[in-house]
Amino acid sequence: MAELTHGLIRTGHAVRSLAASETPQRLHELAAGFGYWAARYQRLPGRLSGRQTGHSPSEALQSLGRVHGPDFAACRSIAQRVKDLDAQPEFATAVDLTDTAGDLSWFISELTETCAGIYLANPRGLVALVHTVTAPRALRLLAPYLTDADARLAAQYAWQACAAIYAWYATTPPSTAGLAPPTEALEALIDRAVAAGGAHTIKFTEACLREYARHPNPVYLMAARDVAERVGGV
């Protein structure tokens, strides 16, 4: 988890920048990303058993219980909230609910698509839910530089991290009911995020639009349009 996946996100974007051009500043950012990841390391309940179910992320979500109902108030730090899953023994099986043995790029797309729907369906805990898209997107940036086995292991734990955020913060399952795809151009969605000014809004919009480019499901555009309004300058 590393402080709500920010270790992964920071490292992934440092690697993306270094792939374009190696500079001392970008090398420093990579080192800082690794350091942050290590310093904030957080282990979630459950270990891979080697007996994964073979479910996709959207299918696995149907087997995953949510801790709270609609009256949940998302207070206290997000890292501490997720740590409270240690007291939820049923969550320990979550890491085994998916299987990354197939097409890894498809798995990441399925995870980000599902999590964009989770974000849209829920009225609170939005900053936490943003990371269920930005974290697996950051893993996509990092995966080409890992061995195949490590990339698949990382994807399994990325699912576990997203499942933890879903289990603690989501009060309803993913849904886009009643929402229409945006009619704005992609550039307009970018402008909305920049105008809102929030780091989470900007990085979520960037992740949604890049995932949409690979897998053009309108849920990404709906989420990108929404985040400028509901998360805004955070």
pLDDT 10s digits, 170-188? 988 888 888 888 999 999 9
- What confidence category does residue 74 fall into, taking pLDDT thresholds of 50, 70 and 90? low
pLDDT per residue as tens digits for the range 96-139: 999 899 999 999 999 999 999 999 999 989 999 999 999 999 99
Give me the residue spans of the domains in the chain. 1-42, 44-234
Rounded distance between C-alpha atoms, residue 172 and residue 219, angstroms: 16
Tell me how many degrees the CA angle 5-106-186 measures, rounded to the nearest 5: 75
| pLDDT recorded at residue 49 | 84
Rounded distance between C-alpha atoms, residue 32 and residue 14, angstroms: 9
pLDDT per residue as tens digits for the range 23-40: 999 999 999 999 999 999
- pLDDT of residue 48 exceeding 90, the answer is no
pTM for this model (two decimals): 0.95
